[in-house]
Amino acid sequence: MNEAAQTKKPLWLIALTILIPASFSCLATSATNVAIPHIAGYFGSTVDEANWVITSYMIANACLILMTGWLENLMGRKLFLKIFISIFTIGSLMCAFAHSLNMMVIGRLIQGIGGGPMTPIAQSVLLSEFPFEKRSIAMSLFGMAVMVFAILGPTFGGFIVDNADWQWIYLINVPVGIISVAMAHSNIKELTTRKKITSIDFLGMISLVIWLLTMQVVLDKGQQYSWFDADWIRILSFISLSSLIFFIVWELEYKNPLVNLRVFKDKNFFAGTIISSSVNMIVFSSIVLIPQFLQNILGYTAMLSGMSLAPRIISSVIMIILINPLMKIFDNRKLIATGFFFLGISVLMYTNINLEVSFLYLSLPNILLGVGVIFVFVPVSSLVLGTLPKNELSNGASLHNLYKTVVTAGAASVANTLVARYSQAHQTYLVRHLSDFNLVFQNKLSSMIHTFSSTMGGYSAHIKANAYFYKSLTVQSKIMAYVDVFEILALIAFIMVPMSFILKTKVNKNES
């Protein structure tokens, strides 16, 4: 049946059909992070062991992102969506009823396989189904589903783990998945420009999996094992780099590659991918660092740390409504530059954090961050694939989202490493003030010993007083480390302001 003979579905229904599973795929990625301590306690494991719940999902997610275009051509769009939404639902069900950590990791792996293609396929479907003049609306909806739900994750996860069982993070995906399969069957039409798959790129698949698997393990475990001080980290890093180089060369030379890497020759695609990755780097690093600071330093609960990010959700939703008319009035590059400026100011405000920072103070930078994210994300999403031919949309969306995923994973790992390393550096500097030659410290120490002596012996009071000051030292060192990392993120945001004008605003209509 040709395209003309198919029943024409309303655009809003097509958008709703494709964005519901994409939204919950993004929610599953970030909501789990705040539940890790609860999952570790439930299975009687360490937090480091429970982190495999995140790692397994990220590995499967990244692998399937890049295979999206190839699998869509192989299966057809409708069958592809029904199969992978079902896989995501089955994985969620396994996670909810897992009786061991190993079963939980397997469930998350399956969930990642199903969820991986949801973001690129959503972007591809919206760009191909919406008329060119309504593309800004399509990308506004895409921004709502992908970025807003990803930001919502910690707030949603924190609310669940503090008020119910953590299993509800996954159980909620089951009815959503069932409804999404039915909607995909009824509302998504088949591809009319499918490429004929004549052979399977096994070597490309294998090298892709090896690269992403070893890279993710290195990123997740590097800081724990002092990075390249560990032999096995060096070995895995070499394997990962070698697999990446082989994958790139093979995909460029093979007759029927898994992905067409030559789309990076397109200026808009290349520049837009770097810009989008920078946004993800800033946003998701803050999503990792701010809850860490609030829970580990200020003693917030998971729900309160998640609620601290709520203002950025509200401002993001408001900007989603406003961004479409703004894109029609202003040069999109100026909107992107303005967005990076807001992001820079927002992250720069985080450099004022201290032990007395209020919940209210955190609201303003979060509001600005939500505004900046949408100012950048929606116009870039509209432009990045705008100069690619229609039959390369799925391939381009897959590569675009894989690059963002890899950069995001790397940024989160590097941010945590920098906090740990900078904290050690600041501690080395500050500890010099806790000496017998510092009269201010000696007076404070004597006063503290006197206070503790009222309830314990002199020796115990001396030990406890020194422990108190050492704890204060480590806390202040960690705060200074967070400030350093936020300064780096702010610098990246300000550097990206002029980079925004590399993009072309006059794009084609994706004719095949």
pLDDT in tens, 18-43: 888 888 888 877 788 778 788 888 88
- Of 173, 198, 223, which residue sits at a domain end? 198
Confidence band, pLDDT 50/70/90 cuts, at residue 195: low
Tens-digit pLDDT profile for residues 432-479: 777 667 777 777 777 777 777 777 777 777 777 777 778 888 888 989
- Residue 225's domain comprises 202-255
* Residue 147 clears pLDDT 80, i.e. is over it: no
128 with 226, same domain: the answer is no
Tens-digit pLDDT profile for residues 211-225: 888 887 887 777 777
180 with 221, same domain: the answer is no
In terms of Cα–Cα distance, which of 308, 309, 430, 299 is closest to 355? Answer: 299
395 with 481, same domain: the answer is yes
296 CB neighbour count, 10 Å cutoff? 12
pLDDT at 192: 63
* Residue 190 clears pLDDT 80, i.e. is over it: no
Contact 496, 488 (CB under 8 A): no
95 with 182, same domain: the answer is yes
* Residue 431 clears pLDDT 90, i.e. is over it: no
pLDDT at 509: 52
In terms of Cα–Cα distance, which of 122, 137, 148 is closest to 65? Answer: 122
Here the tokens at position 402 are 């894989």
Alpha carbons 404 and 147: distance in angstroms, whole number: 12
Report CA Rg, the chain.
Answer: 24
193 CB neighbour count, 10 Å cutoff? 14
Average pLDDT, the chain: 82
Can you give the CATH number for the domain in which 166 is found? 1.20.1250.20
166: which residues sit within 8 A by CB, 6+ positions away?
35, 38, 39, 42, 160
Decide if 35 is inside a domain: yes
271: which residues sit within 8 A by CB, 6+ positions away?
499, 502, 503
29 CB neighbour count, 10 Å cutoff? 23
242 with 323, same domain: the answer is no
Alpha carbons 46 and 44: distance in angstroms, whole number: 7
46 with 96, same domain: the answer is yes
In terms of Cα–Cα distance, which of 279, 264, 309, 253 is closest to 495? Answer: 279
The pTM assigned to this predicted structure is: 0.77
399: which residues sit within 8 A by CB, 6+ positions away?
66, 259, 261, 263, 264, 273
226 with 189, same domain: the answer is no
Can you give the CATH number for the domain in which 370 is found? 1.20.1250
pLDDT at 4: 42
447 with 364, same domain: the answer is yes
332 with 250, same domain: the answer is no
Alpha carbons 501 and 498: distance in angstroms, whole number: 6
Decide if 2 is inside a domain: no
463 with 388, same domain: the answer is yes
Here the tokens at position 242 are 């070698």
Decide if 509 is inside a domain: yes
* Residue 203 clears pLDDT 90, i.e. is over it: no
